[in-house]
Amino acid sequence: MRFSLSMLFGAAFAAVVAAPTLALADGDAAKGAKIFKKCAACHNALEAKNKVGPHLVDIIERPIASVEDYKYSPAMVEYAAEVPTWTVEALGAYLHKPKAVVKGTKMAFVGLKKDKDIADIIAYLTDPAAAK
């Protein structure tokens, strides 16, 4: 059986995407609320009010670059054309290395190194009330 370069790339991509998904499934919203403090200067997770960055209320399954009254970078708008929705996987990859995922993003945050921290923040963003 012959493997093409695109088949190998596809398999590698699937492995990379699947690995964080497993880790993201077991996040702790209370821990995520504490970690989110790093994000709170620029983002709001509890009310649909923009700060320096767009609000993150109901971000999971929300179309990317879709918050009204927020001016997204051209890079983020371009990314939204390729990846239209903030899935758990898309958000996890972005939180890990924002500038690698969206080259030219205006978000200054360098990312989170630990998969557990990303899982916790996503759990918090999914259900902020669970953090209490």
Secondary structure of residue 91 in the 3-state scheme = helix
Surface-to-core class of residue 119, CB atoms within 10 Å of its CB (0-12 exposed, 13-18 middle, 19+ buried): buried
The pLDDT value given to residue 40? 96
Closest to 59 in 3D by CA, of 129, 131, 126: 126
Dihedral pair phi/psi, residue 63, rounded to 5°: -60, 140
The pLDDT value given to residue 15? 44
| β-sheet bridge partners, residue 63 | 85
Average pLDDT per 10 consecutive residues for the chain, totaling 132 residues: 42 44 71 96 97 97 97 97 97 97 95 97 95 86
Query: Residue 46 sits in a domain of what CATH number?
Result: 1.10.760.10
Six-digit token string for 130? 């669970």
The pLDDT value given to residue 132? 83
Total number of domains in the chain:
1
The pLDDT value given to residue 24? 52
Q: Which domain holds residue 52?
A: 5-131
